[in-house]
Structure 1
Amino acid sequence: MSQEKRLAYPFKIRPLQGELQEQMKRDFEGTPSGLAACNHWGFKLMGKVTDDLLEDIYNYPLEERDVWIMTPPKSGTTWAQEMIWLLANDLDYEGAKTPLMPNRWLYPEAPAIVDKDGIRKFLPADPEKRTITTNSMAGNAHTGARRFVKSHLPLSMNNPRLLDVCKVVYVARNPKDVCVSYYNHNRLMATHGFTGNLELFMQHFMDGNIKLNPCIDHMIEAWNLRHHPNMCFIFYEDMKRDLKSQIRKVAKFLGKDYSEEQVNKLAEHLHIDNFKKNPYVNMEHFKLQGVMHKDRGNFIRKGKTGDWKNHFTPEMTEKFDKWLEQKLKGTDLKFVTELDQQD
């Protein structure tokens, strides 16, 4: 394979300043370095992120047989990862009996997210359980095997040739449920360590001042490229409404054809009641490593559309709706926030 010319990272890193940065450090104990805006619309990573690291990600080596998943956080990423991996690997359920990450999927931006200073106090005393696998998750070397790569970064921060070389499945989810799910995730993960309540988190979410956010700009960027032949754009809500149809859609995108019986079996494997019990996707090893709090729930939570209604007050809903309407001006991207029926 010919050596590609290394590209300069095209954006300036801009750490948050003053009292705003100090608030980020207080509200997110897992990120004592605060946050930095890292692209043209302010996508946030940890405050210590470097140009060299982002340039490495921007030049991540690509192979035609690689399969990527791109999503904002808490948009059904893990659910879709399991579906994609099984579809691409001829429904190898035995091969899926190993942790989704880092064994089966790579995560290039992991070193740009984890502020190691912030989680040292959570690490267990046993040094053998203290492994933080950011470098092994990144895995940017060519291995010879087909690679499966997860990214929460927007397209503008990944290799600009990505869509021209690799298959990319993009999953979008309605922002209300994303906000509630990400709130719980930021409390669960020591790498985030959020200390406040949902109302405060929602304000940070709307302001875009949370790691791996803002999410609306992220989705609009991908939505505008949804017709590219190497992109399969799906909605979390469509997976909840009719999982089998989305399985067939992604299978076709990956050049696979499965029988009705095989689709039914995969849908059963992915059903949320079974998925929550699957130890290979529920990231329990993170609790042993100190990356995830042991007493704040599990990585796979409810998996429901419309759960936001159980958490937003009427005042929060009104505020969020006005913000979302403003964010979506000028785009035809729309979201489903409730379903009459779901699995």
Structure 2
Amino acid sequence: MDSAKRVPLPFKIIPLEDEVQKKIAKDFAGNPNGLVSCNHWGFKFSATVTEQEVEDMYNHPLDPRDVWVVTPPKCGTTWTQEMVWLIANDLDYEGAKTPFNPDRWSFLDITGVLDKDQMKKIAPPASEDGATEGAPNIAGDPNRPSPRFVKSHLPFSLNNPRLLDVCKVVYMARNPKDLCVSFYHHMRLIRFHDFLGDFELFVDYFMKDLTMESPYIEHMIEAWNLRHHPNLCFLFYEDMKKDMKTEIRKVAKFLGKDFTDEQVDMLAEHLHFDNFKNNPWVNAEHLKPLGLMYTDRGNFIRKGKTGDWKNYFTPEMNEKFDKWVAEKLKGTDLTFVQELEKQD
């Protein structure tokens, strides 16, 4: 168990301008208080997050036996988690038939994502007589025995500064256009976010880095610059879609596991998107009866396709978005694949 002393949070939590907050509150019903900025490139949390909560995330206990998955939102996080958990647990498919959160994974930054006023409104605390179920606990217990599996959407600059020195971390990146489309649907589906506008408006928010846990390109650049660290396995969503078996072998080697071709084939079949989206242990369908997801706005596990952005971006939007991404990536050697000739 990590016995390092707590480290003060090196960043201040800064509210956005009043007019911006009002606009966010109007267009994202799940964020009635708007957002706040925290770190040197403006990572966004719910405006109701406290400095203590962020400092707790920053000091999350570490153990060399723990495995982390770090991604921006909607970069195949759940997909990656299922792959990593099964590889680390020697392909225990029976053990995987348990609720994803918090039984198998902790969601580190969940307190920074949810607006506390919105939570009270749609998921009040469980009552003593059991009349109210309350919101499901997906944060997990940071002090439970290792090995622990931790999911974080925080960038490395907001995760525990000793993370890569202590734990194995699998990072998944994705091309920003498909990320944007996927996040648009997610923000409409989840009532804790409840985006009320159309796709064009969402892209505008996205490009202004005014969506939850943005900016995403800076998030990926920060990880990309650390990709040679021996405790970091950097993956691209598009590589998983193109050749999942190769990526499975890459992660298995990283985690010190050796599987037969037959075992790799079986895991690839388990993770194939058509099977994955119908897996009740990962697809979060249980949130719909609880009233936490809209029943008529799609599913938590959606299409899983590279290049779906072409069905949403107009030529004008595409040109503007390309220039925005190019400006963000200036001075880096990070590039993204936007289309695939063939994908699983």
- TM (norm. structure 2) is 0.96
Amino acid at match of 2:135: I
**Structure 1 counterpart SS, 2:169:** strand
After superposition, give the CA deviation of every residue in 1:21-50 in whole Å (9 maximum; x if it has no partner). Answer: 100111111111110001110000000111
After superposition, give the CA deviation of every residue in 1:95-152 in whole Å (9 maximum; x if it has no partner). Answer: 0011212221001111111113124444499965642235x514211x2231000000
Determine whether 1:58 maps to 2:58: yes
**Structure 2 counterpart SS, 1:45:** strand
Deviation at 1:218, TM superposition (A): 0.1
Amino acid at match of 1:137: A
Q: Residues of 1 paired with 2:342 and 2:336: CA distance?
A: 16
Determine whether 1:48 maps to 2:51: no
Aligned pairs (5 A) from 1:1-343: 3-123=3-123, 130-134=133-137, 137-141=139-143, 143-343=144-344
**Structure 2 counterpart SS, 1:36:** strand
**Structure 2 counterpart SS, 1:163:** helix
Q: Residues of 2 paired with 1:40 and 1:150: CA distance?
A: 22
Q: Residues of 1 paired with 2:109 and 2:121: CA distance?
A: 23
- Distance change (3 Å), C-alpha of 1:108 and 1:333: same
- TM (norm. structure 1) is 0.96
Q: Residues of 1 paired with 2:2 and 2:74: CA distance?
A: 37
**Structure 2 counterpart SS, 1:156:** coil
Amino acid at match of 1:140: P
Q: Residues of 2 paired with 1:309 and 1:2: CA distance?
A: 46
Amino acid at match of 1:306: G
Contact kept in structure 2, 1:25 and 1:31, CA below 8 Å: yes
- Distance change (3 Å), C-alpha of 1:70 and 1:259: same
Deviation at 1:4, TM superposition (A): 1.7
Q: Which runs of 5+ in 1 are unaligned?
A: none
Identity among equivalent pairs (%): 62
Q: Residues of 1 paired with 2:199 and 2:140: CA distance?
A: 31
Contact kept in structure 2, 1:107 and 1:139, CA below 8 Å: no
Q: Residues of 2 paired with 1:159 and 1:122: CA distance?
A: 31
**Structure 2 counterpart SS, 1:155:** coil
**Structure 2 counterpart SS, 1:153:** coil
**Structure 2 counterpart SS, 1:185:** helix
Aligned residue pairs: how many? Answer: 341
Q: Residues of 1 paired with 2:25 and 2:10: CA distance?
A: 27
Amino acid at match of 2:104: R
Q: Which moved more, 1:331-340 or 1:101-110?
A: 101-110
Q: Residues of 2 paired with 1:266 and 1:128: CA distance?
A: 41
Amino acid at match of 1:205: F
After superposition, give the CA deviation of every residue in 1:155-214 in whole Å (9 maximum; x if it has no partner). Answer: 000100000000000000000000000000000001111000111101111111011111
Q: CA RMSD in A?
A: 1.6
**Structure 2 counterpart SS, 1:83:** helix
**Structure 1 counterpart SS, 2:181:** helix
Contact kept in structure 2, 1:111 and 1:138, CA below 8 Å: no
**Structure 2 counterpart SS, 1:29:** coil
Deviation at 1:278, TM superposition (A): 0.4
